[in-house]
Chain A
Amino acid sequence: MTSLLEMRGIVRCFGPLRANDGIDLTVEAGHILGLLGENGSGKSTLMKVLFGMLPPDAGTIAFRGRPLAGHHPREAMEAGIAMIHQHFMLVEAMTVTENVMLGWPDAGRILKRGEVAERVRETSRRFGLDLDPHVPIAGLSLGRRQRVEILKAILRKADLLILDEPTSNLAPPEVADLLSILRRLKSEGKGIVFISHKLPEVLEVCDDVVVLRAGRVTGRAPVAGASRAQLAEMMVGRDITAPHALTPREPGPSRVVARELSAAGLSPLSFEIRGGEILGVAGVDGNGQLELVDAIAGLNRARGGTLVLDGNDITHASVAARVAAGMAYMPADRGHRALVRDMTVAENLMLRDSRREPYARGWLLDAAGRTRSARRLMADYDIRAAGPGAITARLSGGNQQKVVIARELDRSPAVLVAHQAAWGLDPGATRFVLDRVIGLRDAGAAVLYVSSELEEVLAISDRIAVMSGGAFVAIVRRADADLRQIGLWMAGRAA
């Protein structure tokens, strides 16, 4: 019997970089294959080659025994391959039905709206997707949007589904729903490639796992016999699963005190963060996290209540005054809000302090001081770039975030507000970021750590606040945290 998909010796280069360096991959019908690897390990490139978005430099692809070469996404789809991208390929202004019809030959050149809507309804029922055909995408949660993509794949009679980091934006209950949908698809004989760098999910849902590192396959194993530590080591070449060393310490006095603090998109919030303490904020993205961090950083104007930092009322203070009082901020959108992508590493490192030494002398900028300082920070924070003059946009995501960390942490802040600080980073870089945040806590700073990755929040927080609908549903100590309960709170269900 031939395999559903056989990729042999795939090579794809970008300039001198061999993103895929002779990769073999086989997927069987009715199997879920986990494709593990860090960012930049070649997972996405391999899948883009398969889906016809990038031509390979060498290698062959056979799908259901038939060769697939020189193809475009259209041919891949016609052959029965569906790709569910990490960023959904949906048109927000259009309804579920319209998105299903887009580019689908069965919808007809003259659109058969009613007929397609009926098929959407029926398929949604059969697979437990719970989708209304006439709702615009803009009104759907990310979990629902993902199901629209899965629905599109099912209706297009795809035999192979590729899911790229499918759980990265989902709340735990949504992840559970997704995994059960995948199992149902598997039982109907579909082949699935599950791309992820999250080990627990891969272990839970996959039958086999293939690990990529630096463009090569470094391991393949049935999930049944694999251990988490083994897989992690194959991924990064070292064991990074050891838990974070969050040494219990008696927190100091309160450094941040919010009393009934309210702002656009925020219900009145009250909380305290003490020196040497990390308050983690868990929650599904879009439940007020951005409004919260912006309110503390001074970008979202307070409408009521008070915010006190080390005894000073900063409720209505300007951003500059907050920075002067010792606040550091790592926004979620590092490409736009934390960094000026087209400027150099050295320039980004001086952004907040450009009026002071060593960056400035009087009215003039000090180029030599800037370069010296940048070299030191690049060494201290392990920023891998060609030099201080390298353009920031050319750096990997992990190194960009290290630039932000270096800038924000080197000032030894009193308070760090970090939002999705490890978002999109691979395990190695995540580890670096979290270790630095913990280091800051151990040095006595107060840290507000906001992330939609529950595991991350649990790993490094002294206390955990769960956010839903712009309010804190609950604040619990880490020792008292009940994962299932937190999941329910995140999904917006009261205790």
Chain B
Amino acid sequence: MAASVALRLNLPMTLTSPATFADGVREHQDEVYGVALRITGNRDAALDVASSTFLKAYRAFHRYDQTRPLRHWLLRIATNEAISYVRKRGRELRRIVAVDEATGVADVSAAPDAESVAREDRARVRAAVSQLPELYRVVIVLRYFNDLSVDEIAQVTGRPASTVGVQLLRGRALLRGALEGAR
């Protein structure tokens, strides 16, 4: 199956080794898209980031060290791509995200049932995460969306583990402050 995928896509035969590119895409595409979505805060941007992540991964797959987890390698590319995207189109992106958030606010006149309260809380937390400085947003997303440990985040971001620990603490404190201020 893997070999047929490799042949059909005209991939080099090295891709037919245990972790194939096709398997990687299939298995991790939601996670790659999710990390891009939570870092950029916008769906179109996340789709762009995820596409360019897979494109870069496809081109560099022969350099991928197969003794290391494919997931971390893909997340590293995705995180870097998302950061570059946000840096390049930051202002435009913030405007779009602000409009999305404004239009996504729940109707306050409706009776607040448990589900709508929970939805509103999720929206508030996501908005607060999207407002975090990029430095903290990345580690918060990798920790609480991708469920990575501090050491894994350090591997993915290339930052020292101690720095990641401090950035997580600071990021959580900033989030708490933002959420309490929004109440």
**Physical interaction between A and B:** no
